Structure 1
Amino acid sequence: MELKKRIKLAYNVLANKSVITKDDQIRSMLDFLGIDQAETKGAVSEATYYACMKVLSESVGKLPLHLQQYTEKGGVRKAREHPLYNVCNSRPNKYMNATNLWGSCEYNRNHYGDGYILIDGAGINTKLWLLPSKNVEVWYDDRKILGDIPDIYYLYSYGGGILKLGSEEVIHVKGFDSLDGITGMSVKERLKNTVNSGIKSQNLINRMYDSGFTAKAVLQYTGDLSDENARKFTKGIEDYATGKLKNDGIKNIIPIPIGATLQPLNIKLTDNQFVELRQYSALQIASAFGIKPYQIGDYTKSSYSSAEAQQLSFYVETLLYIIKQYEEELTYKLLSEKEVAEGYHFKFNISVILRADFATQVKTLSTAVNSFLLTPNEARSKLDLGSVEGGDRLLGNGASIPVGLTGIQYMQNKNPKKGELHNAKK
């Protein structure tokens, strides 16, 4: 970067000419100092880290979010008439759909340790907006500097200034790694050395590709050359070796003058167990995210009996903690105390990731219908089929009888009187 541009960037940082984040300040100062930012550009360039972020973000984004209500008889129904149902399940704002919002929030939560969503409006006018986590600072105002009551405040920096938001105005989902329960810590901060090692290993491979997998070498020559001539001589040999003269039709031949010897310093990746160490680092990163090895393409130790078992393990061990936090935060922040008392609550539909093959689904639903668990229409809805007339009644196996009548079929009197039947029921 040119010195003039570096000075301009540093001046903008020091003069605070615009509202920028700490990350922007650090990057600008590194540019001014001429420091390579290959490792500071973000851990997302590391393949395993990116794969883990992708799996978690897509897993949360693909789950339908429903607003439900407990009924008086202990059942559950979807509250489709509630104005927040479509906001959270379909269109949180006019620029984003629900999949984008929840997936992006989960991405921010994993990458920065916290995810933030602004609650704009109330009732039918409610809109949900994603707040980039790098632009948000969390303050606990116990000295009443920002407000009249002690509260947690969120300071959101944007192009026009700073927006102060109260705790009830922001949906805040945290990373699991939190010491105070208020803010979380990202995996990349906790495993900074491991992630950086993955970035360095990828940079090593990239440099080897750039050099045509030509290793460093020792150039031996006889005679006396000045420092300037030695540099020119060495550079010429290096241009031949690294393929910089391929445009001239020279690719594989390195001319060596009489009295000179080129001795390569071969460093084999296998000798340094490069592949094994890189695979071990990848498993460490995936383990920190709660991602299973098969989800990052490692099938060497797969011990699951089926795809359903894999998904169930991922849901119980990784995803359950995450979506439970979303459900609790949304229920508290979006619903009134009266609505919560009436049984309203948010619930992710996890059946989309635990869905079996069609034959298994049909068999399971048939068993549920025959066991008085589901009505035919409820079973049909799970297969995205329309309801039919008479399908809202519970059906079952005709051989099933109440437990109080067990054995009545073996009584000698096949036509018991009313009093006898009453005694049998007892």
Structure 2
Amino acid sequence: MGFFRRAIEKRSNEVVDINSQEFLKILGIDANSISDDKLKESTYFTCMRIMTDSISKLPLKLYRETDNGTEKASSHALYKLLKLRPNQYMSSSDFWKMVEFQRLHNGHSVVYIDYVTRGRNAGKIKGLYPLNMDNVRIWIDDAGIIGKDNAIYYVYKDKKGNEYKLKHSEVLHFKGLTSDGITGMSVREYLVTTIENAQAGQKYVNNYFKGGLFAKGLLQYTGDISPENMKKMQGRFESMANGIKNAGKILPVPLGFSFNSISNSMADSQFLELNQFSIQNITSAFGVKMHQVNMLERATHNNIEHQMKEFYIDTLQSILTMYEQELNYKLLLSKELENGYFFRFNVDSILRSDIKTRYEAYRIGIQSGFLSINESRNLENLPSVDEGDTLICNGNMIPVKMAGNQYNNASEGGGTDD
């Protein structure tokens, strides 16, 4: 992909600070309606980290349904591409972190599919490149001016001003909450007011401590004082009272002056209640559970595992399904879909129970005859053993239709001994 490769090569020679806006733009991040420091709001940043980390740590694999069950399609070219390195610049983990970040922060994420255009391997997928959403516009041909088959186009503009029109079949389009099925709603647009309130609370606390816990108030003086002397006295009084170094010290007040506080305390301002309300609004918008942002009032050792399963069912499952459906439709050929190929994220790391519960489940599965020893060992990343593929079961179990036959056999063979 020429235009993406040129953009990356040009950026590679630039040196920028990690906290600068230029660095965020390289990653495809722009606060837009949120001010420059909105990303530094702790709850918003924490929720973004939780969501991106949750998606990026799940291995994406290509499977195939056969008459003997589902098996990994490890010999397929797309298996290694999606599992290890979608493009030469990103690992699979980095790729999904960026895709999920842009999907949440911008409302949708667009990934260019780089095909081989010439030679014997024409049509083969070489790589997948996430595009900077600041430079992507979506055209919808509702009037059918261009054609009915390609009603949606994605226009990408590089740093030189060159524009590239991409068909919907040439990109992967991952959306957030959407009302029309084409464009997504950004989480930050929904939360802009809540995040500003949370930031205002953080600034209030910062200023409160920077001021040495010293409240604002009125400095009263009996008599007349010139504006110049008023400024001098104000500066002198603040230097004696403000700052961490003056916290807890006795404040000397010159003769003739008195100080009266006019600011509310944190308790009077209901700061803690308002701060918790903002946290709840932000986490609920992301679908993040409260215990994941260290709000552990209602969390216990016994219910955190269930809450993690709820996080998967309520939040991640819909997102992963959206990813899988888009990958299946855009990356796999019709013939491959007919032959049973499909992409799926491995969610065992989220749903994985404690070792005692897992081993008990394996025991039941093996003794019931539907799970082999090697299948159980493979789930624990243990090597297979000889004759471990043989299905075994408890010998006391018999088919339902044979229940009671043992008593009939006993009566038929019974009798008195002569």
TM-score > 0.5 by shorter chain: yes
Question: In the alignment, what sits opposite 2:212?
Answer: 212
Question: In the alignment, what sits opposite 1:323?
Answer: 320
Contact 1:142 1:150 in 2 (8 A): no
Question: In the alignment, what sits opposite 1:159?
Answer: 159
Q: Paired residue for 2:113, among 94, 111, 119?
A: 119
Q: Give the secondary-structure state (helix, strand or coil) at the position aligned to 1:347.
A: strand
Structure 1-normalised TM-score?
A: 0.81
Compute the RMSD of aligned alpha carbons: 2.9
Give the superposition deviation at 1:217. Answer: 1.7
Question: Distance between the aligned counterparts of 1:25 and 1:382, measured in 2?
Answer: 41
Instruction: Read off the aligned partner of 1:243 and give its amino acid letter.
Output: G
Instruction: Read off the aligned partner of 1:270 and give its amino acid letter.
Output: A
Q: Which runs of 4+ in 1 moved over 6 A?
A: 23-27, 144-148, 413-416
Change (3 A) 1:225 1:147: farther
Change (3 A) 1:213 1:92: same
Question: In the alignment, what sits opposite 2:74?
Answer: 80
Give the superposition deviation at 1:68. Answer: 0.7
Q: Paired residue for 2:88, among 90, 94, 113?
A: 94
Question: Distance between the aligned counterparts of 1:243 and 1:295, measured in 2?
Answer: 34
Give the superposition deviation at 1:145. Answer: 6.7
Question: In the alignment, what sits opposite 2:270?
Answer: 273
Question: In the alignment, what sits opposite 2:393?
Answer: 396
Gaps (5+ residues) in structure 2?
Answer: 1-24, 117-122, 414-418
Instruction: Read off the aligned partner of 1:61 and give its amino acid letter.
Output: S
Q: Paired residue for 2:100, among 97, 106, 113?
A: 106
Change (3 A) 1:357 1:26: closer
Give the superposition deviation at 1:282. Answer: 0.7
Q: Which moved more, 1:128-137 or 1:272-281?
A: 128-137
Change (3 A) 1:304 1:337: farther
Instruction: Read off the aligned partner of 2:87 and give its amino acid letter.
Output: N
Q: Matched residue pairs, number?
A: 381
Contact 1:43 1:188 in 2 (8 A): no
Question: In the alignment, what sits opposite 1:9?
Answer: none
Contact 1:152 1:166 in 2 (8 A): yes
Question: Distance between the aligned counterparts of 2:268 and 2:393, measured in 1?
Answer: 67
Question: Distance between the aligned counterparts of 2:87 and 2:250, measured in 1?
Answer: 62
Question: In the alignment, what sits opposite 1:311?
Answer: 308
Question: Distance between the aligned counterparts of 1:243 and 1:212, measured in 2?
Answer: 5
Per-residue Cα deviation, 1:29-56 (whole angstroms, up to 9, x for no partner)? xxxxxxxx9x612532221111211111
Q: Give the secondary-structure state (helix, strand or coil) at the position aligned to 1:55.
A: helix
Question: Distance between the aligned counterparts of 1:229 and 1:154, measured in 2?
Answer: 65
Contact 1:142 1:151 in 2 (8 A): yes
2:61 aligned with 1:61:
no
Contact 2:55 2:100 in 1 (8 A): yes
Instruction: Read off the aligned partner of 1:329 and give its amino acid letter.
Output: E
Change (3 A) 1:345 1:299: same
2:375 aligned with 1:378:
yes
Q: How does 1:127-142 map to 2 (within 5 A)?
A: 127-142=127-142
Per-residue Cα deviation, 1:49-92 (whole angstroms, up to 9, x for no partner)? 1121111111111111111111125x211111111011111211
Q: Which moved more, 1:320-329 or 1:221-230?
A: 221-230
Instruction: Read off the aligned partner of 1:49 and give its amino acid letter.
Output: Y
Q: Paired residue for 1:261, among 244, 258, 263?
A: 258
Contact 1:65 1:346 in 2 (8 A): yes
Q: How does 1:350-369 map to 2 (within 5 A)?
A: 350-369=347-366
Contact 2:31 2:39 in 1 (8 A): no
Question: In the alignment, what sits opposite 1:169?
Answer: 170
Give aligned-pair identity as a percent.
38
Instruction: Read off the aligned partner of 1:381 and give its amino acid letter.
Output: N
Q: Which moved more, 1:340-349 or 1:368-377?
A: 368-377
2:401 aligned with 1:407:
no
Q: Which moved more, 1:131-140 or 1:51-60?
A: 131-140
Q: Give the secondary-structure state (helix, strand or coil) at the position aligned to 2:392.
A: coil
Q: How does 1:182-201 map to 2 (within 5 A)?
A: 182-201=182-201
Question: In the alignment, what sits opposite 2:16?
Answer: none
Question: In the alignment, what sits opposite 1:224?
Answer: 224
Q: Give the secondary-structure state (helix, strand or coil) at the position aligned to 2:351.
A: coil
Change (3 A) 1:396 1:63: same
Per-residue Cα deviation, 1:329-369 (whole angstroms, up to 9, x for no partner)? 11111101111111111111111111112222222112112
Give the superposition deviation at 1:210. Answer: 2.1
Per-residue Cα deviation, 1:89-136 (whole angstroms, up to 9, x for no partner)? 121122211111112211111111112222112676521122233332
Change (3 A) 1:212 1:366: same
Contact 1:111 1:187 in 2 (8 A): yes
Gaps (5+ residues) in structure 1?
Answer: 1-19, 28-36, 417-426
Question: Distance between the aligned counterparts of 1:149 and 1:268, measured in 2?
Answer: 63
Question: Distance between the aligned counterparts of 1:220 and 1:137, measured in 2?
Answer: 60
Instruction: Read off the aligned partner of 1:170 and give its amino acid letter.
Output: V
Contact 2:113 2:125 in 1 (8 A): no
Q: Give the secondary-structure state (helix, strand or coil) at the position aligned to 1:69.
A: strand
Change (3 A) 1:217 1:170: same
Per-residue Cα deviation, 1:152-185 (whole angstroms, up to 9, x for no partner)? 1112233233332211121111112x11111111
Instruction: Read off the aligned partner of 1:347 and give its amino acid letter.
Output: R
Instruction: Read off the aligned partner of 1:229 and give its amino acid letter.
Output: N
Q: Give the secondary-structure state (helix, strand or coil) at the position aligned to 1:191.
A: helix
Q: How does 1:342-357 map to 2 (within 5 A)?
A: 342-357=339-354
2:337 aligned with 1:337:
no
Q: Give the secondary-structure state (helix, strand or coil) at the position aligned to 1:193.
A: helix
Change (3 A) 1:240 1:251: farther
Give the superposition deviation at 1:408. Answer: 3.0
